[in-house]
Amino acid sequence: MTMTDKLGLILENRGPIKKIGVLGMGYVGIPAAALFANSDKFDHILGFQRDSKSSGYKIEMLNHGESPLKGEEPGLEELLKKVVDEGKFKCTPDFSRISELDAVTLAIQTPFSDPASLQPDFSALTDGIRNVGKYLKEGMLVVLESTITPGTTDTLARQILEEESGLTAGEDFALAHAPERVMVGRLLKNIQEHDRIVGGIDEASTKRAVELYSPVLTKGKIIPMTARAAEVTKTAENTFRDLQIAAINQLALYCEAMGINVYDVRAGIDSLKGEGITRAILYPGAGVGGHCLTKDTYHLERGVATSEGTLDYPEDTDSIFVLARKVNDFMPKHMYHLTKEALKRIDREVKGSKVAILGWAFINDSDDARNPPSEPYRDLLVNGGAEVLVHDPHVLNYPGVEIIKDLDKVVEGADVIAIMTGHSGYFELGPEQLKQLTGKENTIIVDGRNVVDPDTYISNGFVYKGIGRGDKNDHPIV
Ligand code: SAJ
């Protein structure tokens, strides 16, 4: 009897999955746990959260049916209240209760401590896996939902779980990777409607993981594959998105140098419809932030660097994926260069100027400020001797940076207004209103998200700079 047959038998004898645990009560774990609890296929869901100083507060909030996630998450608050009131979901710091469960998922952050040396910081993930290993029982399923370096499920995770439990993966317990594909602001919708990649270390593990995720999908379908293929799928889909953004950012820089409007070019390219995704063209901007695109390339790079096989790749040639990272990481610096050039046009310099940054969140209409492109831009200005104030309608606070809600206070007396995030409210702003606040004859506006109409601002005496707007960036100053 093969290992997987033995596991298949154990899982069959154990019966259908009824009790599930979710480790990591964050943007991925909380909606996932709520949807598991809302399914009549499952009896009871435990959310595991360490009772730490920084995030222990989540336990009580969740057990009152309240979402600790900031920002708008349609349907989540109601669903949490429902499943808590029904007694189907409970949050606990007691990891020993893992032993009473049929399946456990881990949705824990996997940042990179040093992208250059491709060193990820797996400390939180490893702690979580070790906690599961301690209470792992025969016939249980363990699923990693975090985005991880290809190979992690079948090496690091397997080793720790076997070490802690004394059991064998693929023989005594099932192990799989089912990467999250959620975006803030639509967490529940994404989990239910996106297809779900599910990859086990063996067939029995894949089959068991398919049983776990099928009930929560509405429009999405399950796409089964091996654990490593699932790891590559996730890291590669974000790497491809980052590459697509880098391509349009590079084109935007070219358009500036050639004195043309990147949005004309984009509309032109975009007109060649059909025949698949390759013709999809994204949007240039002030940078790429967030917890995903900024690191998943390095997970993919580390995956191939640590794989057993030999990579056949042109000699002395950088990975285009890493180059894409460098182009996207350059965009906040480009915003700084545009700001300097604009100040020079009115015989001013960064030193002593007052800059109003509009937008700290990494993405529009969200409070998510993980790896915000605004931060390197602000650092360059502050190091250059500018006084910088930051406005964001959604972000509550950020270490070392005062986030001001009063836009007038931020723009008042400013020499430069820099738009770093495309929040909807900024599209409502007008040149007269802003000019009144700055009180300047020639206020500078640097648009990093194509929010304002250059001509409207230029005709009101603004000095305009926009990413990709080579057709306007050297306009005559009115
Ligand atoms: N951005 C641009 N131009 C664009 C699109 C985005 O400059 O055309 C910038 C955004 O301003 C932001 C950053 O890129 O700073 C990331 O934006 P995003 O829309 O990719 O948002 P994420 O990182 O939250 O979501 C991505 C998504 N991945 C893919 O679409 C392949 C999402 O589906 C994933 O679930 C998520 O990563 C994740 O958690 O991995």
pLDDT tens-digit series, residues 37-46: 999 999 999 9
Q: Return the CATH superfamily for domain 236-321.
A: N-(1-d-carboxylethyl)-l-norvaline Dehydrogenase; domain 2 (1.10.1040.10)
Higher pLDDT, 363 or 272: 363
Measured distance CA(374)–CA(182) in Å, rounded: 23
pLDDT at 329: 97
Q: Which pair of structure tokens corresponds to residue 324?
A: 């894409």
Share of the chain above pLDDT 90, in %: 91
pLDDT at 115: 79
- Ligand 1 atom nearest to 364, measured from its CA: 11
The amino acid occupying position 441 is: E
Measured distance CA(213)–CA(316) in Å, rounded: 43
Q: Name residue 169's beta-bridge partners.
A: 173
Is-catalytic flag, 351?
no
pLDDT at 276: 57
Indicate the top mutation candidate among 69, 144, 147, 238 to test ligand 1's pocket, ranked by most ligand atoms within 8 A of CB: 238
Band (275; pLDDT cuts 50, 70, 90): low
Q: How far apart are the first and last CA of the chain?
A: 83
> 87 CA to middle of ligand 1, Å?
35
- Ligand 1 atom nearest to 293, measured from its CA: 23
Catalytic residue of the set 234, 295, 354, 465: 234
Instruction: Kindly list the protein residues whose Cβ atom lies closer than 6 A to any atom of ligand 1.
Output: 147, 180-183, 237-238, 241, 245, 282-283, 285, 288-290, 292-293, 362-363
Main-chain dihedrals φ then ψ at residue 241, nearest 5 degrees: -65, -45
Cα dist from 201 to 206, 212, 261, 269, whole Å: 7, 16, 50, 42
Band (476; pLDDT cuts 50, 70, 90): very high
- Ligand 1 atom nearest to 147, measured from its CA: 40
**Mean local confidence (pLDDT), 332-350:** 98
pLDDT at 69: 87
Q: How far is CA 235 from the centre of its chain?
A: 12
Question: What sign results for the dihedral spanned by CA atoms 216, 217, 223, 229?
Answer: negative
Band (280; pLDDT cuts 50, 70, 90): confident
Whether the Cβ atoms of residue 192 and residue 182 lie closer than 8 Å to each other: no
How do residues 92-143 score in pLDDT, each as one tens digit?
A: 999 999 999 999 999 999 988 887 788 899 999 999 999 999 999 999 999 9
Q: Whose CA is nearest to atom 40 of ligand 1?
A: 292
Is-catalytic flag, 91?
no
pLDDT at 312: 97
pLDDT at 273: 72
**CATH number corresponding to 3-220:** 3.40.50.720
Q: What is the mean pLDDT of the chain?
A: 95
Indicate the top mutation candidate among 191, 233, 241, 251 to test ligand 1's pocket, ranked by most ligand atoms within 8 A of CB: 241
Whether the Cβ atoms of residue 32 and residue 65 lie closer than 8 Å to each other: no
Catalytic residue of the set 58, 88, 255, 292: 292
Start-end of CATH 3.40.50.720 domains in the chain: 3-220, 330-466
The amino acid occupying position 306 is: T
Main-chain dihedrals φ then ψ at residue 164, nearest 5 degrees: -75, -35
**Mean local confidence (pLDDT), 264-291:** 85
Band (274; pLDDT cuts 50, 70, 90): low
Q: Which pair of structure tokens corresponds to residue 282?
A: 């994204």
Whole-prediction pTM value?
Answer: 0.94
> 332 CA to middle of ligand 1, Å?
16
How do residues 197-241 score in pLDDT, each as one tens digit?
A: 999 999 999 999 999 999 999 999 999 999 999 999 999 999 999
Give Rg (Cα) of the chain.
25
pLDDT at 72: 80
In CATH, which of 3.40.50.360, 3.40.50.620, 3.30.930.10, 3.40.50.720 is domain 330-466?
Answer: 3.40.50.720
Main-chain dihedrals φ then ψ at residue 304, nearest 5 degrees: -75, -30
How do residues 161-186 score in pLDDT, each as one tens digit?
A: 999 999 999 999 999 999 999 998 89
How do residues 361-398 score in pLDDT, each as one tens digit?
A: 999 999 899 999 999 999 999 999 999 999 999 998 99
> 154 CA to middle of ligand 1, Å?
28
Exposure b/e, 328-343, CB count within 10 A at least 16 = b: bbbbbebbbebbbebb
